[in-house]
Chains A and B, each alone.
Chain A
Amino acid sequence: MALTAASIPALWRLARLDFDPVRQQRVLLYPEGVVLLNNTGGAILELCDGRRSVAEIAGVLTEKYNRDVVADVLEYLSALVEQDLVRVQ
């Protein structure tokens, strides 16, 4: 399913977002897999709670980074949807 600004993304039920004090970065953990997240990726996934839409997530981050990030958020989450790590209701 293609991701739009109205989509409501959530992490895969099997995935857990965590902070790794060894690498000093956020990580996404799931069966047999690890994604080391950069700051932006971590900030996006932290807002993927199955309640906010992509537009709402982008809104929070637009305020934080002081620039329009809708396209970036869509691109980032679409890649994770493609890998089945993020699911859309």
Chain B
Amino acid sequence: MSNSHPTTLLAEVTHRCPLHCPYCSNPLEMSRVDEELTTEAWKRVFTEARELGVLQLGLSGGEPLVRPDIEELAAHARTLGLYTTLVTSGIGLTERRASRLREAGLEHIQISIQDSDRSSADRIAGMSAVPQKLAAAELVRSLGFAFSINVVLHRANIDRVGELIEMAASLGADRVELANTQYYGWALENRNALMPTRSQVEAAGAVADEAIVRFRGRMQILYVLPDYFESYPKPCYGGWGRHYLVVMPDGRTLPCHGATHITTLRFDSVRDRPLGWIWAESSAFNAFRGDTWMREPCQTCPRKAADFGGCRCQAFALTGDATNPDPVCTLTPLRGIIDTAVGEATGPSDYRYRVLPLSFQRR
């Protein structure tokens, strides 16, 4: 049971996407188009989320703009008072749709950039998307949205972190998020091809630190460290089932977007249950609340109040047991798993691209 209010809902309105990024955060088994929630179902989910206390909404995917009802969903969110972010590749953001989204009251648009080098960007996305992204960025800036650029960093682009920051500034971004790859799902499949070296990580961190100071007041720069290169795990979304909800295209509701990788959990759907029930009562949301589930060394560790034992999805993916400590933590003998992975990641950079099976496409 939880009496706390969630603050954030990530609505993955579709898994369809024109891009094929090898670090995609969508599950390996994606929802089909005919499983996607309807417009009315999503509106009900947003209303229930606001009643639960949610204040931040992410309209995400896949590429959310493949759905023709994003404007209607954004307008509904605005009437509820939600602060809404459209998380997009930029593909499909035409002048008409951008204007309609502005009229709908959408406040914030985040556009992904794969790299500052065009041929590298095309290779990462698995398609040529740069001209459409640049046009979308110009629309977002000129229409006065709050504007963020998001870049996932990995071996092939991390050396250009300085150029990426300059690119975001030249596009007129208010914020740029430089997030090192988190290794779940597709990214875990591609870990050996994506993992940077320690010297790459250190050099990029120094560039980002300098830029954060230099751009202060003009553009906010967030640099998210790669957890494999840190000593302690990240506090996954401020703790399991404490602040965050993810609703997948088919309505299943998760405590974080990677949670489907924990195959021992069963996730209830908003098709069957109210969101408030799922938040308060469902077995998945209660699985790792509090600390009674924790093993040593977490159980008696003073850090448990700060990091909650780290990421449950990572513990499961790397050790097969979600109640283990996150292997990133240097206080657990499991850390060897991470050090081995970092040491081995020198292989060729051939990606296994994220692709939707043909049967997933709209018929």
> A: which residues have CB within 8 A of B?
13-14, 16, 18, 20, 22-23, 27, 29-34, 84, 87
Contact = CB atoms under 8 A, between A and B. Distances in A.
Interface in B161-179: 174-175
Given A84-B216, A84-B217, A84-B220, A31 B53 contact: no
Nearest to A30: B83
Contacts of B307: none
Name the prevailing secondary structure of the B interface residues: mixed
A22 B83 contact: no
Contacts of A30: 83, 146
A33 B83 CA distance: 9
A23 B53 contact: yes
A31 B149 CA distance: 12
Contact of B85 (A20, A32, A84): A32
Contacts of A13: 146, 174
Contacts of B175: 14, 31
A18 B81 contact: yes
B50 to A, nearest CB: 7
B5 interface: yes
B225 to A, nearest CB: 17
B174 A14 contact: yes
Contacts of B81: 18, 20
17 contacts: A14-B146, A14-B174, A16-B107, A20-B55, A22-B50, A22-B53, A23-B5, A27-B55, A29-B56, A31-B108, A31-B146, A31-B148, A31-B175, A33-B56, A34-B55, A84-B217, A87-B217
Contacts of A18: 81
A32 B56 contact: yes
Nearest to B220: A84
Interface in B105-152: 107-108, 110, 146, 148
A83 to B, nearest CB: 10
Contacts of A87: 217
Nearest to B108: A31
B51 A22 contact: yes
B68 to A, nearest CB: 25
Closest 9 CB pairs of A and B: A29-B83, A14-B146, A22-B53, A31-B108, A34-B7, A34-B55, A31-B146, A14-B174, A29-B55
Contact of B52 (A16, A22, A34): A22
B220 A34 contact: no
A22 B48 CA distance: 11
B5 A22 contact: yes
A53 B289 CA distance: 45
Contacts of B55: 20, 27, 29, 34
Contacts of A33: 56
A71 B55 CA distance: 31
Interface in B296-341: none
Contacts of B7: 34
A34 B85 CA distance: 13
B356 to A, nearest CB: 28
Nearest to B8: A34
Q: Which of B51, B52, B83, B220 has the most CB of A within 10 A?
A: B83
A79 to B, nearest CB: 16
